[in-house]
Amino acid sequence: MPIAIQRLDIPVDRDNSYKTSADYLLNLHEQDFDDLHYVLGIVSSHCFFGKAVIRVGSKYYDPTDTNRSFTLPKAPFVSIYEMPVNDLKDFMVDNNNELPTVLNLKVVEMLSQK
């Protein structure tokens, strides 16, 4: 699976993991990958803004990290919210193509309702 993700011809924006992860996720969905999730999380106590990664099956990938194999080591990343690809699409439609982020108040509201 990581090889297929690495071969996607999508621009990588290291400063915007939300957009990069969403672009990769939507592309993977178009290629008929299953069990796709847009994942919001915290990398460490030094990352106050959080980041987005993708989950394909049971593996987490950071498409903004082009220097490694994409697979996230478990320790530094803590998942706080996982959104299936169809929920991500619905969220974007409902919010004028805005992406869910850790600081997005709508996501905070969604988390508090669960």
What pLDDT does residue 23 have? 93
Q: Which of 112, 111, 92, 110 is nearest to 26 (CA)?
A: 92
Q: Give the pLDDT band of residue 50 (cuts 50, 70, 90).
A: confident
User: Given this model, what pLDDT does residue 2 score?
Assistant: 47
pLDDT band at 9 (very low <50, low <70, confident <90, very high): confident
In this prediction, residues 61-75 reach a mean pLDDT of: 70
Residue range 87-94: mean pLDDT, rounded? 93
pLDDT at position 108: 59
Q: Note the helical H segments in the chain.
A: 2-6, 17-30, 85-94, 105-113
- Looking at the DSSP bridge assignments, the partners of residue 61 are 54, 71
Q: What is the pTM of this model?
A: 0.79
